[in-house]
């Protein structure tokens, strides 16, 4: 099976976010691979191991983090990596989807995988918008796949642990929530090898035309400890108060 996996860099969730106008202050912001995209890559690699074929990873932008992300994917077992655009200024999901659609069209892929969501997708989920753009069927919140001939059996999670199975005719797009196995780790030496491999290509893509058709008029951080009464002091003080609270709640 020939599989495309869409990878997206998102602001590192461990970083403290600051606002600059109606966007994040991105000057010193670190980017990491969206965690669900990591699962999409893992699922793609597992399918390739079962069926043969190729895994091609795509990402937007040319920042160092994006390059690092793609080299890591190559080191894990992707065959080719494509970095889209040199000066694309794409932040909304619609723009990202349009760019991916342009890059994927005519690529002969059986399966396009991406993470089910990213934390900055205010205008929809990229995987699903790509499906609409390509005219492929799609399933989101996928937690497992089993490739067959011309189709793939996918397990989708509903809620409360309830899942449903579907047979999906190929080509198709899947929004992956969790891979069958935890995403693999890869040694730094392998990533260095991947950097030398020359399997990373830069693709020029036109700036997307259709945006989200909405404007962010205000962006704000919630106030610190908004809602909660914050306990001051060290862990001893915290535990003193928690013991009182347990008593007040009638559980001690």
Partner 1 sequence: MANDILVFVEHLNGDITDATYELLATARSLAAQTGGSVDAAVIGTGASALADDLGGADRILVADTDALGAFNPQGHAEMFASLVETRQPAITLVPYTSVGMDIGNHVAATSGQPLVSYCLSVDAGDGLSGTCQLYSGKVQADVQVEADRAVFAMLAGAASADDGRSGGAAVIENVDTAVPDLAITFIGTAEPEAGDVDITTEDILVAIGRGIESEDNIEEAQALADALGAALAASRPIIDQGWLPKTRQVGKSGLSVKPKVYLALGISGAPEHLEGMRDSSTIIAVNSDPQAPIFGVAHYGWAGDLFDFIPELTDRLEG
Ligand X SMILES: Nc1ncnc2c1ncn2[C@@H]1O[C@H](COP(=O)(O)O)[C@@H](O)[C@H]1O
* 17-76: contacts with ligand X (CB under 6 A): 26, 31, 61, 63, 66
Confirm or reject binding of residue 141 to ligand FAD (CB under 6 A): yes
- On whether the CB atoms of residues 177 and 143 are closer than 8 A, the answer is yes
Tokens standing for residue 172: 């198709």
159 touching partner 1, by CB under 8 A? yes
Q: Give yes or no for a contact between 59 and 8, defined as CB atoms under 8 angstroms apart.
A: yes
Backbone angles phi, psi at 75, to 5 degrees: -65, -30
Using the minimum distance from each CB to ligand X, give the nearer residue, 61 or 208: 61
Closest to 174 measured CA to CA, from 206, 199, 140, 204: 140
Residue 149, CA atoms < 13 Å, CB-side half-sphere: 0
Binding to ligand FAD in span 157-216, by CB under 6 A: 177
> And the tokens for 5?
């996996």
Pick what 189 binds: ligand X, partner 1, ligand FAD, none; C-beta below 5 to 8 Å, kind-dependent: none
Helix (H) or strand (E) holding 60: strand 54-60
- The least distance separating ligand FAD from the CB of residue 119, rounded to whole angstroms, comes to 8
Quote the least distance from Cβ 247 to ligand FAD, whole Å: 24
Closest residue to ligand X, Cβ-based?
A: 61
Q: In the window 100-139, what residues touch ligand FAD (CB under 6 A)?
A: 116-117
Q: How far is the CB of 226 from ligand X (least distance, A)?
A: 25
**Rounded CA gap, 249 and 252, in Å?**
8
**Interacting residues toward ligand FAD by CB under 6 A:** 13, 116-117, 141, 177
**Interacting residues toward ligand X by CB under 6 A:** 9-10, 26, 31, 61, 63, 66, 91, 120
């Amino acid at each position: 099976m020939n599989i495309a996996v869409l990878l997206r860099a998102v602001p590192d969730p461990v970083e403290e976010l600051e606002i600059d106008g109606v966007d994040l202050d991105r000057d010193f912001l670190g980017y990491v691979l969206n965690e669900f995209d990591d699962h999409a890559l893992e699922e793609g690699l597992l399918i390739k191991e079962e069926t043969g074929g190729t895994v091609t990873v795509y990402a937007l932008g040319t920042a160092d983090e994006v390059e690092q992300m793609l080299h890591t994917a190559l080191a894990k077992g992707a065959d080719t990596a494509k970095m889209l655009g040199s000066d694309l200024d794409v932040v909304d999901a619609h723009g990202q989807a349009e760019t991916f659609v342009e890059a994927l069209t005519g690529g002969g892929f059986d399966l396009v995988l991406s993470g089910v969501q990213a934390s900055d997708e205010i205008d929809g989920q990229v995987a699903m918008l790509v499906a609409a753009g390509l005219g492929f069927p799609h399933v989101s919140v996928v937690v497992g796949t089993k490739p067959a001939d011309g189709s793939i059996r996918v397990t989708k999670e509903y809620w409360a642990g309830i899942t449903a199975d579907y047979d999906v005719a190929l080509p198709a797009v899947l929004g992956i929530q969790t891979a069958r196995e935890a995403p693999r780790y890869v040694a730094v030496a392998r990533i260095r090898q991947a950097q030398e491999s020359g399997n990373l290509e830069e693709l020029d893509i036109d700036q997307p035309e259709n945006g989200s058709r909405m404007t962010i008029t205000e962006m704000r951080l919630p106030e610190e400890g908004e809602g909660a009464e914050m306990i001051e002091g060290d862990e001893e003080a915290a535990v003193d108060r928690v013991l009182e609270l347990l008593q007040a709640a009638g559980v001690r």
